[in-house]
Amino acid sequence: EVHLLESGGGLVQPGGSLRLSCAASGFTFSSYAMTWVRQAPGKGLEWVSGISSADNSTYYADSVRGRFTISRDNSKNTVYLQMNSLRVEDAAVYYCAKNEGIRPSSRIDCWGQGTLVTVSS
Amino acid sequence: DIQMTQSPSTLSASVGDRVTITCRASQSFSTWLAWYQQKPGNAPRLLIYDASTLETGVPSRFSGSGSGTEFTLTISSLQPDDFATYYCQQYNTYRATFGQGTKVEIK
């Protein structure tokens, strides 16, 4: 059974940094793209970033480009989201998600339960 | 980026009703579209992919159709478990984008 477990969320001040982790199990991690999606309180889903399994190409939403970095460690079956220069508007539940294919331009077929990021002074 | 617009934003319906949600894209693409269901406090769940393919384990009362710029999700007979928020997502481009969501409420 596919399982995604996020960690690393918490309270951070504006301008601060956090690193989210997502530990994957139940599938051949190195063969699938991974994606981060966020959901601000009471709002809809926002695609944040994706990373290919074929060549580790990375992709970002305009709202986070230059501040967030996605990476993966296939030896640890883990995908990361390094978030720098955090803003109040980055506060959300961050979901880790597995893509169906090798590239982020494929459907998401499994989601983690999410980790909450709060940005406040 | 491709913008996805869902309508309506909120839908009030009764058990047994036929429900249709529309998703329109700002640019035309083939059928690289998925529908997800989300209940409060839970992660989204994949219902439909490639615009019309039912994910394994999803009840057959759910169906999807469309291509190009207009897509629909239909629930043939609404059940109590179906009251939730539904999102479309295009994955035609690397920066996949979601619609704003449609909340299906009890009438």
Report which secondary-structure segment, H or E, holds A4.
Answer: strand A3-7
CA distances from A66 to A86, B32, B54 (A): 11, 28, 37
- Nearest residue on chain B to A48, judged by CA atoms? B95
Alpha-carbon distance B75 to nearest alpha carbon in chain A (angstroms):
20
The distance of A107 to chain B (nearest Cα, Å) reads: 6
The answer, yes or no, to whether residue B1 has pLDDT greater than 90, is: no
- Cα(B55)–Cα(B59) distance, rounded to whole angstroms? 9
| C-alpha gyration radius of chain A | 13
Q: What is the pLDDT of residues B45-100, one digit of tens each?
A: 999 999 999 999 999 999 999 999 999 999 999 999 999 999 999 999 888 999 99
Q: What is the pLDDT of residue B44?
A: 97
Q: Which of B7, B87, B95 to mutate to test the interface with A (most CBs of A within 10 A)?
A: B95
Coil, strand, or helix at residue A88?
helix
What tens digit of pLDDT does each residue of A70-103 get?
Answer: 999 999 999 999 999 999 999 999 999 999 999 9
SS3 B66: strand
Low-confidence ranges of chain A (pLDDT < 50): none
Helix or strand run (H / E) with residue B23: strand B19-29
Residue of B nearest to A114 (CA): B43
Residue B76 is which amino acid? S
Q: What is the DSSP letter of B102?
A: E
Structure tokens at A34: 């991974």
Is the minimum CB–CB distance between B29 and chain A shorter than 8 Å?
no
Residue B59 preceded by cis peptide, ω within 30: no
Contact B94 A107 (CB under 8 A): no
| C-alpha span between B91 and A8 (Å, rounded) | 27
How many other β-carbons are positioned within 10 Å of the β-carbon of residue B103? 14
For the cut 90, the answer to whether the pLDDT of residue B107 exceeds it is no
User: Are B49 and A50 an interchain contact pair (Cβ–Cβ within 8 Å)?
Assistant: no
